[in-house]
Amino acid sequence: KGGGPTHVLPQERPLHCGNSGTTARLVLGLLAAQPFATTITGDQSLRRRPMRRVTDPLTAMGATVRAADHDGLPLTLLGGRLKPLSYRMPVSSAQVKGALLLAGLAGGVAVDLEEPGGPSRDHSERLLRGLGQMVGVEGGWIRFRPGETIAAFDASVPGDISSAAFLVGVALLADGGELCVEGVGLNPTRTGFLKVVRRMGGGSTVIEEARGEALEEPFGDVVVRPARLRATAVTADEIPGVIDEIPMLAVLASRAEGTTVFHEVGELRVKESNRLELLAANIRAVGGQAEVSGNSLAVTGHDAPPVGRVRTDGDHRLAMAFSVLSTLTGAGVDIDNIVCSDVSFPGFPRVLATITGGRSLG
């Protein structure tokens, strides 16, 4: 509440970010330039997620952070006059990158960032450029030089491809028909999921139809028909671009011919749940084969009807990914908490029932 990123009003009570790591981390960046203290907290799941990857560089810029000994929320951030930042990020993370760019915007200081292992999603950079700010890439570094104050604006936000991925998964595994998901964001740093499913056999059945751009974000329709899937390898350099879609890709791999390996997916251990271990355990719980070895996940496909109970630990992406399996003929998949899907996809059970003709979610 206020007059833009350089004029934010103090809050008397802690800001509760629910289950949203994106909200918590981006807000931390914005608050780092404000001359007052703010306490940030969240639900039980969010309080376990690492925040030092954001607060350490913000501290280097001049903010002060008071937190418990563990790496998580709640924490109190005292903002102030920031200084420029040149920072090699320890992990590729769109949330961390966005937080630091917002801190630079709010504080009116330059920010230079280098991401390891390939670029993460670039929504923040595109948005800032679309609003007239100077953001470029030079020698693998993101260079941000904040300009004039951003005025109020209206914009259309394309649909989230991470949410659309579950509908794409339903269509790929269906017995027949065709599904068109309209108005989906087709940002190249977010379409890694579509590239992987094409490699798995959806090359001729998953089609992107571009329609335009909104604040430099390309969007369009995705048309999907069923496909016979085969195994693939998802390499370490692909992971930053598919990190949120790995649950859906792993579920698809459990129905594909052969063994699919996801390399360097240890980051899944610090999502809304220990997503890596739960993903493998739940695939086994419904009759599939999945093993975690170090930071890699191997999933072997089969064609028997999936039957079993899925434990989500309140993780919305696990709930939705395994709900896709419940739409298969002969399936008996029981999701322990489908309601948690509301975190990112309100009304998901209703939408799924609509496109599957009312088939139960188990």
Q: What are the residue numbers of the active site?
A: 244
Q: Are 60 and 50 in contact (CB under 8 A)?
A: no
Q: Give the separation between CA 10 and CA 1, rounded to whole angstroms.
A: 9
Q: Are 309 and 283 in contact (CB under 8 A)?
A: no
Quick check: bond before 119 cis, omega within 30?
Answer: no
Torsion, Cα 305 308 309 315, to 10 degrees, reads -40
Work out the number of other CB atoms within 10 angstroms of the CB of residue 186: 22
Of 49, 47, 56, nearest to 29 (Cα)?
56
Q: Are 45 and 24 in contact (CB under 8 A)?
A: no
Two tokens at 120?
């993460």
At 175, the amino acid letter reads D
